[in-house]
Chain A
Amino acid sequence: MMSDTSSLKGLTRRQVLSRATSAGASFVIGAGFLAASNGAWAIETGVLRPETMATLVQMARDIYPHDQVADEYYVLAVKGYDTPEAAEGIETGIATLNAAARNKGHANYLSIGWERARVDILRGMEDGTFFQRIRGGLVTGLYNQKAVWPIFGYEGASFEQGGYIARGFNDINWL
Chain B
Amino acid sequence: MKVLGKNGLSVWMEKCCSLLFLLGIAVIAALPWLLKAYYNLKNEDYARPIILSMLVVLYISGAISLAILVQLRQILRDVNRGAPFTMENARRIKAVAWLCLPVSLLYFIGIFTMPSALVLLVALVFLFLAALTFVLAEVFRQAVLYKEENDLTI
* Physical interaction between A and B: no
Binding site for B on A (CB under 8 A): none
